[in-house]
Amino acid sequence: MPRIGIIVGSTRPGRFGVQPAQWLLDLANARSDADYELVDIEAAGLPLFDEPGSPLMVEPQNTHTIAWKERIGALDGFVFVTPEYNHSTSGALKNALDYLFHEWNDKPAAFVSYGGASGGSRAVEHLRGIMAELKVYDLRDQILLPSYYLNLDEGGRYRFSEAEEKAAAAMLDELVFWTVQMTTARAARKAELVAA
């Protein structure tokens, strides 16, 4: 089974981000095409990048980095759940991305974004540039939740629509397809390298 991580991109106390991440995880867990898990960068406890060099070239030295490397390395695909902070993604998510290189490589990603009227679209546009450098293959699929705070119930819970559920199902279909393709491709390349 491919393993897909739903990555919560906000660490803010009272963050909204856990709501769409948990919603997507619940929808995903009703499927049987992959193993889905929440990856909370808050729980990973990463300080501002404190390794001696780029993860492209330098092995990690810190225990938090080694744990993060193992966590992400075990995954085959990602959904980034991102807020929009000043027309970009959160500093916390950028920092968590910066910590690793190889563990992100040659894996697909889809997106859930939220914020004001733009629904976090500018955060995802910035993320797509970062994805290219990390060799993450960003899918077109993306769920936007514009001005989500206008659609909360009395308990502060976002009211997800049927259209959003449909969009989530289509996004996961696409993500699983590419996760399987790319997992196979990574294994084939590894076998070629071993044989050479």
Ligand X SMILES: Cc1cc2nc3c(=O)[nH]c(=O)nc-3n(C[C@H](O)[C@H](O)[C@H](O)COP(=O)(O)O)c2cc1C
Q: Which of 4, 5, 6, 16 binds ligand X (CB under 6 A)?
A: 16
In sequence order, what are the beta bridge partners of 110? 79
- Our finding on whether 121 is near ligand X (CB under 6 A) is no
Partnered with residue 4 across adjacent β-strands are 36, 77
Asked if 63 interacts with ligand X (CB under 6 A), we say no
Nearest to 106 by CA among 181, 173, 172: 181
Token digits of residue 139? 């899918």
- Between CA 129 and CA 124 the distance in angstroms is 9
- Does 95 contact ligand X by CB under 6 A? no
**β-bridge partners, 87:** none
The helix/strand/coil state of 38 is strand
The type of residue at 128 is: R
Task: For the CB of residue 17, give the shortest distance to ligand X in the complex, in Å.
Answer: 3
Cβ-contact 2, 76 below 8 angstroms: yes
Say whether residue 157 binds ligand X (CB under 6 A): no
Interaction between residue 77 and ligand X (CB under 6 A) = no
Q: CB of residue 12 vs ligand X: minimum separation in angstroms?
A: 4
115 binds ligand X (CB under 6 A): yes
Among 22, 95, 118, 183, binds ligand X (CB under 6 A): 118
**Do 76 and 179 touch, CB atoms closer than 8 A?**
yes
Residues 19 to 58 in contact with ligand X, rule: CB under 6 A = none
H or E element in which residue 81 lies: strand 77-83
- Whichever of 2 and 17 has its CB closer to ligand X, that residue is 17
Q: Closer to ligand X at the Cβ: 9 or 55? A: 9
Residue in 85, 104, 158, 178 binding ligand X, rule: CB under 6 A = 85
The residues binding ligand X (CB under 6 A) are 10, 12, 15-17, 83-87, 115-116, 118
